[in-house]
Chains A and B, each alone.
Chain A
Amino acid sequence: MPVRRPLSSLFALALAACSLPAAVADSVLDRVRESGVVRIGTGNDTPPMSYIDESGRWVGFDIELGNALADRLKAKVERVAVNNKTRIALLANGQIDMTVSNRSQTRSREEQVDYASPPYLWTAKIFYAKQGRFAGIGELAGKRIGVNQGSNAFTAAAQEIARYGGEAPQVVSFQKNAEGMTALRQGKIDAFCQDSPIIAALAGDTGGSFAAVGTGFSPGLYGIGVPPNDSKWRDAVSFALQDLIKDGTYERIYLAWFGPAGRYPLALDARPRLPPDAFGAMMYVWPD
């Protein structure tokens, strides 16, 4: 295709310039070993996963997990703020080494990047609205549903509402969760749809006048994203994560955030575990 070639080579050139560090070493692992620095992409406006608290520190479940991983990999953290829209591209271009940023594994994302194993938290999409306004998801037909742009709630919310029949909702994408919640409080949207732990924290912070509509749907598993086609690095990250699960670090972080006495207690246990009747609800790690 004569038109396509010059353009694509132009981009290749531009992108090659961006991704030079990744291109020098053949695996990210070599580079991290050599420099002692790992570049972790995290969000900064998504409590309780990753946000900046009143004193200006980065906090959240993903932040602590990322720190623990870096410790394991004997590297210092270089934090790169990403959002829902940039995190895949940055990873695919090799500008960051991993994302720990409340990212569900999906097929379309898997086509672009790889995931370390195992996924570390399960979630569901869930609608929140003014307490008592809607009795069930079916009543959201034709209503204005807010989502965060870049979240797969954009597709999932409409699909879920369609299952109940009725008019399609009007999906409104905001740039930030906080803006979506403000719009919900002001009545600019009728419900907001986001991952269960996130929306619970957002709704909790606004004083409890919001409640879930119906039950969660579109279950997903948060996974740690790594650049594609670098199995050496992916294994290193997977091993580090599994070590954290085995030595109880993961457990400690989970309880501190989501356990019954944690900062944002979750009604349902969000740790991805094997069936309790068979294995006593342990988390699965690869055998040696």
Chain B
Amino acid sequence: MRYEVDWSILARPELAALLIDGVRYTMIVAAVSTGVSLVLGTALAIARVSGSGWLRWPAELWVNLARHIPGVFWVLFFYFAFPELLPATWGSALNGWTSFALAAGIVALSVDNATYVSDIVRTGALAIPRGEWEAARCCGLSPWQQWTCCLIPVTLRTVTPPLANRTIHNFKNSSLCMVIAVPELTWATQQIESLTFRGIEATLVATLFYVTVALALGVWARRLERGGYRHWRGAGAVWRRERGELARVDSRR
């Protein structure tokens, strides 16, 4: 028995449309949930390192609980169980909403990813020299300003590589949404397989897409890590210097 790879099926407009739609949904789910989880995770991290026990303990409890819950649980939970927990009218309003599956998937991935983001950001924040925290306090900055003007930008430098990894992970996790019938890319390949019994072509194309986007994210993260964060701040001196050094190292190889 021999599988004849037949790329022509991908040229069939109705199947190509499934793939293109799949890419669209995958990008929406991944981008929105990554954005939300970065905000949510950072907030959780701030709560966890904050001095107030009222913030710290609930956040610690939550993170240590959520860390052990598989992502697909959140997906099923927000789609099937969550509306049942709400008052009946709200629940049926959610269930009646045409984009509910998409929304549930995004919320699920956001919650799932936020846990890991909070761990990463917390580690980064704890790695800031204590003196820099104190300097921020001594200048009379409010706690909010301390975070936004000093701690987060400084943390960003150390957390960029692990956050980029996490983002790639979350991007791939978007395929979990297929279990709640969100027509994202993996769902689309399954759909094509069930319509044509030829899954390998579509799956290959989808895999290529996942790999390409993940690689691009990785490259982008490496550029940030190489000091691009200073570039954002308007003064590119160090960035240019580091780039020069890297170029020299490269040319020596």
Contacts and interface: CB of A to CB of B under 8 A. Distances in A.
Asked if A and B form a direct contact in the complex, defined as CB atoms under 8 angstroms apart, the reply is yes
Interface of A: 4, 7-8, 11-12, 15-16, 19, 22-23, 84-85, 88-89, 92-94, 108-109, 112, 144, 146, 149-151, 154-155, 170, 172-175, 179, 182-183, 186-188, 227
Contact of B3 (A4, A93, A182): A93
Contact of B83 (A151, A172, A186, A227): A186
Given A173-B181, A187-B92, A187-B96, A89 B199 contact: yes
Given A173-B181, A173-B187, A187-B95, A88 B197 contact: yes
A144 B101 CA distance: 12
A149 B193 CA distance: 10
Contacts of A173: 181, 183, 187, 191
Nearest to A1: B7
Given A11-B200, A172-B101, A173-B187, A150 B1 contact: no
Interface string B56-84: 00000000000000000000000110011
Interface in B157-210: 178-181, 183, 187, 190-191, 193-197, 199-200
B100 interface: yes
Contacts of A188: 79, 95, 100-101
Interface magnitude class on chain B: 20 to 34
Contacts of B200: 11
Contacts of B95: 186-188
B98 interface: yes
B250 interface: no
B190 A85 contact: yes
Interface of B: 1-5, 7, 79-80, 83-84, 91-92, 95-96, 98, 100-101, 178-181, 183, 187, 190-191, 193-197, 199-200
Contacts of B4: 8
Nearest to B14: A155
Nearest to A182: B80
B197 A108 contact: yes
A93 B199 CA distance: 13
A4 to B, nearest CB: 7
Nearest to B95: A187
Contacts of A23: 1
Nearest to B80: A182
A179 B101 CA distance: 13
B83 A19 contact: no
Contacts of A93: 1, 3
Contact of B5 (A11, A94, A109, A150): A11
Contacts of A170: 98
A191 to B, nearest CB: 14
B72 to A, nearest CB: 11
A94 B2 CA distance: 10
B191 A89 contact: no
Given A172-B101, A173-B187, A182-B80, A150 B3 contact: no
B208 to A, nearest CB: 12
